[in-house]
Amino acid sequence: MFEINAFAKVNLSLDIIGKYPDGYHEIRSVFHSIELFDLLRLELVKEKRLVIDSNAEIKDNIIHKVWDYMSLNFDIKSGLYLYLGKNIPLKGGLGGGSSDAAAFLYAINLIFSLGLSREELVAISMNFGSDIAYFFYGGMCLVEGRGERVFKLDDYLNEEIILVIPNKGISTSFAYDLFDKNPQVSNYTKQFFDAKKKDIIRPGNVFEDLVLSSDVELKKIKEILNEECEWNLMSGSGSVFFAKTNKPKQIEKKLSEMGRIVNSRIKPFELRLIEF
Which residues form the catalytic set?
9, 131
Check the annotation: does 29 bind a ligand. no
CB atoms within 10 A of CB 252: 15
Q: Is 98 annotated as a binding residue?
A: yes
Q: Is 14 annotated as a binding residue?
A: no
145 labeled binding residue: no
Q: Is 93 known to sit in a ligand binding site?
A: yes
- Residue 138 known to bind ligand: no
Annotation-wise, does 18 bind a ligand? no
Greatest Cα-to-Cα distance within the chain, rounded to the nearest angstrom: 57
| 90 marked among binding-site residues | yes
> Which residues are part of a known binding site for ATP?
89-99
> Which residues are part of a known binding site?
89-99
